[in-house]
Structure 1
């Protein structure tokens, strides 16, 4: 594996306990500084793949390395120091302020960039003093984006979180992620929205017939 390889998946196979085959021969490599968009329909296995990368599910067969570590051994906690997950399943305490949530992320990530946070709060139209219950679903999602980019981690995983954003916010997010990748960070964005493929990414791959293929293929 190259020293620049952030994510290395080879011949990955996964079957649900029900017996349904989700992946049978999945391969994907992402290098440092790459912005890769993973496009697939609902139910195609995008979130399952993210869970496999986090070690929350175990593959039937194949090899997975994230940031040079296996998500399945007792050292996987080291992985989360350099990885940030944006998920549509994540919710915040409705009575928390935006600033309180971001300050907690600051504790978790030692390289957290407060200046970058301040810039992004302005760009995404968020106020640290706002309570979560005062925000729309789309505005709540922006808290995650700001934390992910400000965290200065090596690898950002995004699991179908753009669906709650309007077009302008999705465009802004794509621009900011592309900037971060030019600085050497890496992004894998799972989405079911074809419009997201217009982001300035390095590659678009599709989950198709339980495998991955380049969009152009």
Structure 2
């Protein structure tokens, strides 16, 4: 047993904890559901199972292969439908990627494991800023607007008002319910302009209800 602790397997386990802690700290800092301890355990567990699949008479590649299947169920568990959009996709991707890093470390590819961990932190932090920048430049949302009546005058006034806010509208559907008319629009443009347009829509007297969906 002590020989097992003295060989490279112990180094693999310690390295998996280190890599998990690096990514886990970033996730915990941003208050994500898969935080510090969770990410460490994902990396740790993947490394242990990979080591187990390589151990002497117990060697069985199916153990390492099934990590991919098992981690898929774990990742799916953090994805949920929020009020306006699907949530947890990035967290699920982190779980999946961290398991891959753990497996890499289990095969004693320590340098590559560290490099992949650093890349993950860069993607999660620096690339998020790029994502926000692109979102500010070009933003797309689906909105549901219900008008007080089904007259075309209000519909025309609304669409002209959106043009004044430099927001592009594309009708996706119409629904009449009694005296109410619901129109589904896909809106696109600068994020700031869309936000201002949303605030204007809320204040319109002829708009009965308004939903802004991702």
TM-score when scaled to structure 1? 0.25
TM-score when scaled to structure 2? 0.25
Greater strand content: 1
Tell which has more relative contact order, 1 or 2 (C-alpha 8 A, sep 6+): 1
Greater helix content: 2
